Amino acid sequence: MSEALVTTKDETVAPEGPVFAVENLWKVFGPKAERIPDDTALHDLSPAELRERTGCTAAVRDVSFEVNKGEVFVVMGLSGSGKSTLVRCLTRLIEPTSGRLAIDGEDVLAMDKARLRELRRRRAAMVFQHFGLLPHRSVLDNVAYGLEIQGVGKAERREKALEVIAKVGLDGLEQRRPGQLSGGQQQRVGLARALAVDPEVLLFDEPFSALDPLIRRDMQEEVVRLHREEGRTMVFITHDLSEALKLGDRIALMRDGRVVQLGTPEEIVGSPADDYVRDFVRDVARADVMSVRSAMRPAGSDEESRGAALPPHAKVSEAIEAVARSGFPVRVMDGKRCLGVVDHAALLAVVAGTGASVGAAAEAPGEPSGKGEVVA
C-alpha cells in the first residue's frame, strides 16, 4: 500500500460497511501500463523518472481508502495530483489499471456494460465543473433528463424535477434556457439534475472552481445544507484547501498520484504527515479548524465548576471568545463530565501552531485519541 498517514474519526463507522472501498488502485497511462503496478522497483520513482524509464505516467498510484455512508469525503490536490482521474475511476469512466474497487460490497471492476450503466445512472451521479447542460432545453427538461433516459414517465419526471428545482433554490426559473442563467444558477441546474435520479452517492469534480468567489461560497453553503438535510454520501474533488476544510468530514490529500495523508480537517491541520502537507496548511486559520479537545489539559480541582462550558467538538475560536469574556479557562464538557480545560496559553499555542498535535492533548480515560497510524 502507499505510504499515507491514515487518521481516524472519533465517530463510529456505519455498521453496514463502506459505500466505496478502494484498495491498491492504480491508473497508468502509456505503453504496457499493466507492468507498472507489479514492478515494485518502479514504485518509488518520481513522475519524471517513471516517464523517462518506461514512457508511462502513473496518474493514480497504489491508492486505498473507504468512503463511509453519509459522509462528505474530499479528495484534494493541486493540478496533476491525480484527483480527477481517481474520481472517474470510481465509476470506471476511466478504467483502472489494477487494484480493487467496490460499491456496497459489489465489485465494480467485474461489472458488465449494463451494470455499469445502472451504476452511473442510478447509484453514483456526477456533478462536473463544466455543467454539461443541454442549451436547447429548459431548466425543467435539463433537470429531468436523467430520469428521461431511465424511461421514467413524463408526469412523474416532471414532478420529481420540480421538487429538486425547489430544493436548490431555482423556483420560477423552470422554463428558462441555460444561456439565460448566471454561472451559479447553471451549476444549481447541474446539481438538481444529479439529485433528480436520487443517487446513493454524489460525485463532485471541482464543480465550483470556475465560479466567482461569492457564488462559489453560496454553492458551498448549498452543499452543506443539502448534506445536513439529506445525509447523502458525497465524494468531492477540489484543489481549494478552504473548500476542503469547509465541506469535508475527511480529506484525502494527493500528490503525484498518491494519497499522502487521509484524515479529518482537524487531523490534517493539527498533525500534518510531512513537510508537503505542513506547507499546504501553513496559512490556515487554525482556531477555526481545531477543536477544544485538541487544546485541553486536565482540570484543576478549582477549575471544574467555573468558567464557560463547551462540548469537545467546539472550535478553538469559540473558546477564545469565551475566555476573553470571563477571564477563566473554558471547561470542555461531555454532558455533566468535565474532560479538561482550555486556558489562555493553550489557545495562543493553537493559534501560533506551537501546541501539541492532534491526539497529544490531555484526554479523559476511555476517550479516543484521534491519532492515526502510518500504513506501508
Write the DSSP string, 322-372.
HHHHHSSPEEEEETTEEEEEE-HHHHHHHHHT-SPPTT-S---TT------
Residue with grid cell 496559553, as numbered in its chain: 345
pLDDT for the residue 174: 92
pLDDT for the residue 13: 41
Q: Which domains does the chain have, with CATH numbers?
A: 8-15+67-96+109-280 (3.40.50.300), 287-363 (3.90.1280)
CA angle 208, 275, 282 (to 5 degrees): 50
Bridging pattern class, strands 233-238 and 72-76: parallel
Residue 158 to residues 146, 185, 248, Cα–Cα distance (Å): 12, 19, 32
Separation between Cα atoms, residue 315 and residue 354, nearest integer Å: 17
Sequential pLDDT tens for the chain (376 residues): 444 555 544 443 444 789 999 999 999 999 999 999 999 999 999 999 999 999 999 999 999 999 999 999 999 999 999 999 999 999 999 999 999 999 999 999 999 999 999 999 889 988 875 567 888 999 999 999 988 888 889 999 999 999 989 888 888 999 999 889 888 888 889 888 888 888 899 998 888 777 778 878 888 888 888 888 888 899 999 999 999 999 999 999 999 999 999 999 999 999 999 999 999 998 899 999 999 998 999 988 888 888 889 999 999 999 999 999 888 899 999 988 999 999 989 999 888 887 655 544 444 434 444 444 333 3
Q: Is 304 left (phi over 0), alpha (psi -120 to 50) or beta?
A: alpha
CB atoms within 10 A of CB 209: 13
Separation between Cα atoms, residue 263 and residue 8, nearest integer Å: 6
CB atoms within 10 A of CB 351: 17
Separation between Cα atoms, residue 229 and residue 223, nearest integer Å: 10
Burial class for 104, CB neighbours closer than 10 Å (0-12, 13-18, 19+): middle
pLDDT for the residue 369: 41
Residue with grid cell 504496457, as numbered in its chain: 32
pLDDT for the residue 358: 55
Separation between Cα atoms, residue 47 and residue 295, nearest integer Å: 39
CA angle 219, 20, 373 (to 5 degrees): 95
pLDDT for the residue 342: 93
Separation between Cα atoms, residue 263 and residue 150, nearest integer Å: 37
What secondary structure letter does DSSP report for 138? -
pLDDT for the residue 122: 86
- Phi, psi for residue 300 in degrees, rounded to 5: -75, 165
pLDDT digits (tens, 9 = 90+) for 274-300: 999 999 998 899 999 999 998 999 988
CA angle 284, 84, 265 (to 5 degrees): 25
pLDDT for the residue 364: 42
- Phi, psi for residue 27 in degrees, rounded to 5: -135, 115
- Phi, psi for residue 307 in degrees, rounded to 5: 95, 160
